[in-house]
């Protein structure tokens, strides 16, 4: 079923969903099962699986020169999605990114997904590769998520890249896209960013999932701004608890978001790792309860390989 159909069927109830990362190359599906087994009892109708593009590594050659090699450290998103659907009987949402993909690569992945009866995708641009100064698209790839959304919509209308294909099979993908309550870091301002998000929705995106935030007011303001410019699709809040002290610096640096003052003050008072985790869990529970009380369509938790923490939050909220 499509993600948006779950929202409609829920009739105002707040659903729960989770995002998992593929294991590092060499790992197996058990890592995913170990994350999801403790969480499926909360009945997520869908589970997202992230996609990770290749990274450059430098290998020293016998000559002393370094060889630049591209490797994908976390492959397997499509297979993981199929395996999740098979084991748990829930829908899986693969993340699709522009980075590292030509349009034809994307088309072929969409064909595989369609054959596997996976008909939900989250369409993203992806970040710059480590060591690249900015995002670089493939020569025949999409520069922005908008192009990806349009390509998926084309296939939903039976339009493939090869113009000789007539009456192509119409796929039926439900398309999610990313949104940033605290603005995407490259956008000149929040209004400019919102216009780009609106372009994705106008092109056919069915719903938005937000970047994590720790201040619910940022999410409420974001939803109001979206509505005021005619973005009327469901906006799913993405949530992650603070669990370690160093994240007070690493999360803002990596995700370009701010921590609210009260949380920072509490966290700085904590004198051991258990105490900071308790503060983070309690904060996320309160955030979740408030969002649920306001009737958000779904609470989407970034599990980051820590199901025990997410389970404690889910137990307190559902
Ligand atoms: P876009 O919508 O393309 O926007 C990127 C930037 O370009 C924005 O600043 C926007 O304002 C601007 N822009 C857009 N269109 C135009 C235009 N036509 N002209 C000028 N400027 C424009 N990354 C991964 O690699 N794998 C994942 O699995 C993954 N999952 C994610 C899940 C969620 C819920 C979120 C919020 C992010 C995720 N990301 C993931 C990170 C995401 O790829 C990055 O945040 C990336 O930098 C932007 O992706 P986007 O789809 O929002 O890009």
Q: What's the CA gap between 9 and 193, in Å, rounded?
A: 31
The closest-lying atom of ligand 1 relative to the alpha carbon of residue 145 is 3
Contact (CB, 8 A) for 20 and 49 = yes
Q: What's the CA gap between 225 and 188, in Å, rounded?
A: 16
193 lines ligand 1 (CB under 6 A): yes
- CA separation (Å) from 273 to 122, 163, 164, 246? 34, 58, 61, 10
Question: Which residue's CA is minimally distant from atom 51 of ligand 1?
Answer: 124
What is the CA(173)–ligand 1 centre distance, in A? 19
Q: What's the CA gap between 88 and 72, in Å, rounded?
A: 27
Q: What's the CA gap between 314 and 294, in Å, rounded?
A: 17
Q: Compute the CA torsion angle 168, 137, 54, 194 (nearest 10 deg).
A: -90
- Predicted pLDDT of residue 313: 98
203 lines ligand 1 (CB under 6 A): no
- Predicted pLDDT of residue 130: 82
Q: What's the CA gap between 27 and 123, in Å, rounded?
A: 26
Q: What's the CA gap between 140 and 90, in Å, rounded?
A: 34
Pick the CATH number of 3-317 from 3.40.800.10, 3.10.300.10, 3.20.20.220, 3.50.50.60: 3.20.20.220
Closest CA to 260 of 288, 236, 280: 280
The set of residues, in sequence order, having a beta carbon less than 8 Å from that of 223 and lying 6+ positions away, is: 235
What is the CA(211)–ligand 1 centre distance, in A? 10
Question: Which residue's CA is minimally distant from atom 32 of ligand 1?
Answer: 178
The set of residues, in sequence order, having a beta carbon less than 8 Å from that of 292 and lying 6+ positions away, is: 14, 299, 317
Tokens of 194: 């919102």
pLDDT digits (tens, 9 = 90+) for 234-282: 999 999 999 999 999 999 999 999 999 999 999 999 999 999 999 999 9
50 lines ligand 1 (CB under 6 A): yes
209 lines ligand 1 (CB under 6 A): yes
- Predicted pLDDT of residue 69: 86
The set of residues, in sequence order, having a beta carbon less than 8 Å from that of 174 and lying 6+ positions away, is: 2, 3, 4, 5, 119, 120, 121, 206, 207
Query: Domains of the chain: which residue ranges?
Result: 3-317
Per-residue pLDDT of the chain (318 residues; tens, 9 = 90+): 999 999 999 999 999 999 999 999 999 999 999 999 999 999 999 999 999 998 888 888 899 999 888 888 999 999 999 999 999 999 999 999 999 999 999 999 999 999 999 999 999 999 998 888 999 999 999 999 999 999 999 999 999 999 999 999 999 999 999 999 999 999 999 999 999 999 999 999 999 999 999 999 999 999 999 999 999 999 999 999 999 999 999 999 999 999 999 999 999 999 999 999 999 999 999 999 999 999 999 999 999 999 999 999 999 999
Q: What's the CA gap between 179 and 124, in Å, rounded?
A: 10
- Predicted pLDDT of residue 131: 82
- Predicted pLDDT of residue 55: 85
215 lines ligand 1 (CB under 6 A): no
Is residue 70 helix, strand or coil?
strand
């Amino acid at each position: 079923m499509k993600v948006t159909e779950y929202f409609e069927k829920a009739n105002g109830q707040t659903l729960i969903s989770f995002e998992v990362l593929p294991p590092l190359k060499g790992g197996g599906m058990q890592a995913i099962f170990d994350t999801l087994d403790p969480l499926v009892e909360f009945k997520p109708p869908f589970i997202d699986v992230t996609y990770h593009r290749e990274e450059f590594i430098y290998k020293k050659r016998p000559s002393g020169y370094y060889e630049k090699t591209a490797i994908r450290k976390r492959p397997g998103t499509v297979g993981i999605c199929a395996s999740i659907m098979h084991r748990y009987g829930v829908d899986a949402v693969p993340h699709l990114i522009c980075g590292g993909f030509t349009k034809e690569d994307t088309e072929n992945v969409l064909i595989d997904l369609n054959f596997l009866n996976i008909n939900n995708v989250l369409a993203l641009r992806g970040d710059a590769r480590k060591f690249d100064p900015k995002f670089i698209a493939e020569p025949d790839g999409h520069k922005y998520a908008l192009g990806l959304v349009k390509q998926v919509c084309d296939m939903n209308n039976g339009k493939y890249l090869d113009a000789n294909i007539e009456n192509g099979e119409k796929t039926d993908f439900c398309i999610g896209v990313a949104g940033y309550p605290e603005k995407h870091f490259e956008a000149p301002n929040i209004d400019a960013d919102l216009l780009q998000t609106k372009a994705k929705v106008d092109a056919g995106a069915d719903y938005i999932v937000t970047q994590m935030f720790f201040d619910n007011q940022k999410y409420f303001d974001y939803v109001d701004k979206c509505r005021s410019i005619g973005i009327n699709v469901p906006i799913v809040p993405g949530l992650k608890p603070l669990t370690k002290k160093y994240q007070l610096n690493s999360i803002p640096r990596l995700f370009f978001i701010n921590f609210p003052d009260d949380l920072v003050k509490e966290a700085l008072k904590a004198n051991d790792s258990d105490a900071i985790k308790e503060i983070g869990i309690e904060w996320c529970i309160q955030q979740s309860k408030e969002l649920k009380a306001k009737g958000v369509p779904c609470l989407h938790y970034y599990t980051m390989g820590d199901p025990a923490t997410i389970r404690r939050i889910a137990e307190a909220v559902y």
